[in-house]
Structure 1
Amino acid sequence: MRQVKPLGLFGKMARQSRFSEDAEAIKALSGHIAAHERARIAQYLRAAPVIIALTGYTEDVIGGKFSVTGGSAIHSDGTYYWRRDTAEYVETYGTQLPPEFMEHGTKKGWRTPSLTSEEIMEIDDFFMDLRRRQGSADGCRPGTT
């Protein structure tokens, strides 16, 4: 089973109402990525394979500047995972991402790695195991409380 790391606040598997509880923390991260770097980082985030497809509709929790169909879907580059709408926060607000992720992306030239079907299934297995472990610990699925 391939384990992946959450991308800071954007690694939460949560409904929009739960995610919006972090609005102030996300706002505090705004303005940390230079304008000329935002598009390529956002493209990296968007180009990574979807591991968990969710059809929910998300809205910008900071300033209402965007909305994203499937915004809570989970993408992964094989090392990290994040919500689909992370790209919009980076592009719109220059939202800071964890330094280790920024180093990781820079080393890759912000070219999203290709994942095989087997690798994607291994990551999916990781999430299934995570869901089982969290569900047995608190009696619910991740992001539903």
Structure 2
Amino acid sequence: MRHVTPLGLFGSLSGQSHFSRNAEEIKALSGQIPLNERPRAAEYLRAAPVIIALMGYTEDVVDQRFSVMGGSALHSDGTYYWRRDTAEYVETHGTSLPSAFMDHGATMEWRAPSLTEEEIMEIDDFFMSLRAQG
């Protein structure tokens, strides 16, 4: 089993109704990523492999500027994991992400790594263990 780190508030394994409780905290983190850095970070977040694909529809909890089909699906780069709609929060609002992740992304030159099928299954096993814990 491969352990991955949740990406702050966006490492939520919950549905949209539970995630929306973070609206004020997300709003407070808005505007902290400079405009010129947002596209690269957002593309990295989108390009990382989907580990758990979830159907559903999420909406921007800050000010309803976007919606995302499958927004609560989980992506991972093998080190961190996050919700699919994280990219929209970064791109639209400049929502701050943990500095360790920003350093990690810069080190990777904002190119999401490919993961093998075995690595994806190890991360999936990790998520299943989290769900089993409750």
TM-score for the superposition, normalised by structure 2:
0.99
> What do the CA deviations read for 1:80-135 (whole angstroms, capped 9, x no partner)?
0000000000000000000000010010000001100000000001011111122x
| Aligned alpha-carbon RMSD (Å) | 0.5
Question: Is 1:108 aligned to residue 90 of structure 2?
Answer: no
Query: Which runs of structure 2 are paired with 1:74-113 in the superposition (5 Å)?
Result: 74-113=74-113
1-side partners of 2:125 and 2:16: how far apart? 24
Instruction: State the partner residue of 2:28.
Output: 28
Instruction: State the partner residue of 1:139.
Output: none
Instruction: State the partner residue of 2:121.
Output: 121
Moved beyond 4 Å, runs of 4+: none
Question: Is 1:37 aligned to residue 37 of structure 2?
Answer: yes
Instruction: State the partner residue of 1:142.
Output: none
User: What 5-or-longer segments of structure 2 have no aligned partner?
Assistant: none
1-side partners of 2:128 and 2:10: how far apart? 19
The CA deviation at 1:14 is 1.1
The structure whose Rg is larger is: 1
The CA deviation at 1:15 is 1.1
TM-score for the superposition, normalised by structure 1:
0.91
2-side partners of 1:48 and 1:41: how far apart? 11
Give the share of equivalent positions with the same residue, in percent: 71
Task: Tell me how many residue pairs correspond in the alignment.
Answer: 134
